Amino acid sequence: MTLTSRPSRTPIRLIAALAATGLTLTACSTDPNNSNSAGESNTGSAEVASEQKTQTPPSEAAGPTPRLVTTYDGGLLTLDAKTLEVLDDSKLDGFNRLNPLGDGRSLLDSTKEGFRVFDASSWTEPHGDHTHSYTTEPLLTDTVYSATKPGHVVNEGKRTLIFGDGDGSIQELDAPLASR
């Protein structure tokens, strides 16, 4: 019997652990009144339920307001990155795995139905020689990109690819989606 070694998966596990424990989200967007960060997809099809909680219009902040989003058994917690104050507790059953959507504001949560969009609702827009920052309430949207055994999300430039590990499907989404 010959033993073969395989490459270490430590970097992948480290990245996954960091993604699961929290993501700092600050980014640019062009329309502060666009509170739906889900947008449309090029080839991916999102299913949107009709009873989605609505967000209040965004308010301008004095500067970037980074947030951390983490999972626990039963939901997602959104924290103020500076104070660690809990800003939102979105209940969601099952194993939750977060992936950045690629717009610097939103995350995709791998659920049994597919990739569900979570809007951390904090972003910064460039404006000439300065920026403007905005916040509103975090929102677990009803937008779901169907996938059999949702796997991972890859962001490259203005493209976001989502992979369904159960059937080998690949969907391409527009990014940044929050700028619509």
Model pLDDT for residues 2-20, shown as the tens digit of each residue: 554 444 444 444 344 444 4
Q: What is the pLDDT of residue 115?
A: 94
Q: Average pLDDT in the 63-75 region?
A: 93
Instruction: Reply yes or no on whether the pLDDT at 127 is more than 50.
Output: yes
Mean pLDDT of 76-92: 95
First to last CA, the chain: 58
Three-state SS annotation for 111-147: CCCEEEEEECCEEEEEECCEEEEEECCCEEEEEEEEC
Mean pLDDT score of the chain, rounded to an integer? 76
pLDDT of residue 152 exceeding 60:
yes
What's the pTM? 0.69
pLDDT at 177: 52
For 138, the token pair is 């975090």
